[in-house]
Amino acid sequence: MKIVATTSLLIVGWLCVAACGVVVAGEVPSFRNEVMAVLSRSGCSLGTCHGNQNGKGGLRLSLRGQDPDLDYLTLTRSLGARRVNVQQPEESLLLRKPLLQVPHEGGRRFGVESLEYRVLRDWIGAGMPRDGAAGAGAVRLRRLLVEPGMSTLVGEQKAQRLTATAEFSDGTRRVVNDLAVFESSHPGVSVSGAGEVNFGEVSGVRQTTVTVRYLDQQQVARVEYLRAVADFRFEAPAAVNAIDEAVFGQLRRLQVNPAKLCSDEVFVRRLYLDLTGLLPTREQAGSFLSSTAVDRRARLIDELLESEEFVDFQTLRWADLLRVEDKTLDAKGVSVFHRWIRDGVRSDRPLNQFASAVIGSRGSTYTDPATNFYRALRTPEERSESAAQVFLGVRLQCARCHNHPFDRWT
């Protein structure tokens, strides 16, 4: 019975270690799923280090490990494979530099007791197989999950542990906290390498978004903190639109009162700058400030929205976005396109109709002014990138050369 019990404990312990993402003794690490993750987690493949376009210190890796095949050749073949030592893995430059056993501009990246060290050492010692043990070559990351995706901490509870789980193409799942990268959007909120988010003693911070990255995929988790003030009273101006309602609802839940209404002097200045790009004249400011009408602010908003200055300012903004300029269009093209945009602003043309007219335009750039959009952008790539950025607020330019570092575009 004693032998059986001991064996059972060993099996349970082995399963726990494997589930926690730790490399098990005797297993050959996968180059694609573990070695590449270690290089990314250690910061080696970042744009500030060897992932730079020109590399660093004579070593260039793909940015954030997005080209494992190229990185494999770089590490195992370039410069006569001088960075790895199969006979004595511990003597490999790939290990000695991040340990600071030899000079390294990037500093110390991990220790000899770390998972990062063991993964690299065991992979080198196994002869640097291209993708792990036999049969592992076909296994690819299919999906990355982060739980909880949204969490709320209250009172003395100021820490939340996140769990990153990788789903692979062979149907297996694995917790990869020890191989993933965790980054907090707020500098005042820390997140450990193990995925523990901590609000600490920082005052005023109520929310953070944690980006979790493993191999070529990333997910986000949102964590918020409530002080749980028993006598909290929410005080806010009356909501006048759906945006106010959404913002005030979130602030109420976080127990944060919005700023008080600004003074009339501040309001008139801000409004003129926002809607017309101009400061109010002395007469305009004086007229507003001397008014006793209860709805004087709403009246001024309506007045400025109907002004020629508003039309001029919004036309200028759209002309900048759509690249109405002499260096891309001829003089007549600039004139007709600018006039077409101005007419749309003056007539309060709905944005969906405006966007449809621009994107779906065809014909002569003189008789169909919106087609000048395509004259300024010659290639399909430029047109799709510009349309996505102008009308959707999505930047695709990064994905031309590599996976977008902060978005899902590849």
Q: Domain for residue 83, yes or no?
A: yes
Residue that has been written with the tokens 């592992």 in this structure: 136
Asked whether residue 409 is assigned to any structural domain, the reply reads: no
User: 117 with 177, same domain?
Assistant: no
Pair 22, 104 in one domain: yes
CA distance 349 to 352: 9
Instruction: Give the three-class secondary structure for 23.
Output: coil
Inside any domain, residue 47:
yes
Report the C-alpha gap between 123 and 130 in whole angstroms.
Answer: 10
Residues in the chain: 410
pLDDT at position 53 is 75
Non-local CB neighbours of 85 within 8 Å, separated by 6+ positions:
91, 92, 124
The pLDDT assigned to 393 comes to 87
Sign (positive/negative) of CA torsion 54, 59, 62, 65?
negative
pLDDT tens column, 233-250: 999 998 989 999 999 998
268 and 217 in one domain? no
Number of domains in the chain: 4
23 and 101: one domain? Answer: yes
Residue ending a domain, among 306, 326, 361, is: 306
- Asked if 103 and 33 sit in the same domain, the reply is yes
Same domain, yes or no: 158 and 96: no
Q: Are residues 224 and 152 in contact, defined by beta-carbon separation less than 8 angstroms?
A: yes
| Per-residue pLDDT at 19 | 39
State the SS3 of 270-335. Answer: HHHHHHHCCCCCHHHHHHHHHCCCCCHHHHHHHHHHCCHHHHHHHHHHHHHHCCCCCCCCCHHHHH
For residue 160, the domain's CATH number is: 2.60.40.10
Report which residue type is found at 209: T
Q: Does residue 369 fall inside a structural domain?
A: yes
- Of 136, 152, 185, which one is at a domain's C-terminal end? 136
Strand order across the 207-214 sheet: 150-154, 217-226, 207-214, 181-184
Burial 359-372 (b: 16+ CB within 10 A, else e): eebeeebeeebbbb
Residue 127 placed within a domain: yes
Q: What is the pLDDT of residue 242?
A: 95
Same domain as 163, residue 57: no
The total of other beta-carbon atoms located within 10 Å of residue 117's CB is 19
Supply the pLDDT for residue 8.
41
Distance CA 50, CA 182 (A): 20
In a shared domain, residues 165 and 55: no
Q: Sign (positive/negative) of CA torsion 68, 73, 79, 81?
A: positive
The answer to whether 220 and 191 are in contact (CB under 8 A) is: no
Q: Is residue 216 part of a domain?
A: yes
368 alpha-carbon distance from chain centroid = 38
Q: What are the pLDDT tens digits along the chain (410 aa)?
A: 444 444 443 343 433 433 344 444 558 888 989 999 999 888 888 878 888 777 787 888 888 888 888 889 888 888 777 888 889 999 888 888 888 888 888 888 888 899 999 999 999 999 989 875 444 456 889 999 999 999 999 888 889 999 999 999 989 999 999 999 999 999 889 999 999 999 987 677 788 999 999 998 889 999 999 887 778 899 999 898 999 999 999 899 888 899 999 999 999 999 999 999 999 999 999 999 999 999 999 999 999 999 999 999 999 999 999 999 888 888 999 999 999 999 999 999 999 999 999 999 998 888 899 999 888 888 888 888 888 888 888 888 777 766 666 666 66
242 in a domain, yes or no? no
Q: Would you tell me how many other CB atoms lie within 10 Å of the CB of residue 302?
A: 11
Query: Do 95 and 49 fall into the same domain?
Result: yes
The domain in which residue 325 lies consists of 309-376
Secondary structure tally for the chain: helices H, strands E: 14, 10
79 and 23 housed in the same domain: yes
Match 């039309």 to its residue by tokens. 311
Instruction: Say which amino acid occupies 359.
Output: I
CA distance linking residue 52 with residue 150, whole number of Å: 33
- Same domain (yes/no): 37, 102: yes
Residue 402 lies in a domain: no
CB-based burial of residue 172 (10 Å sphere; 0-12 exposed, 13-18 middle, 19+ buried)?
exposed
| Same domain? 96 vs 210 | no
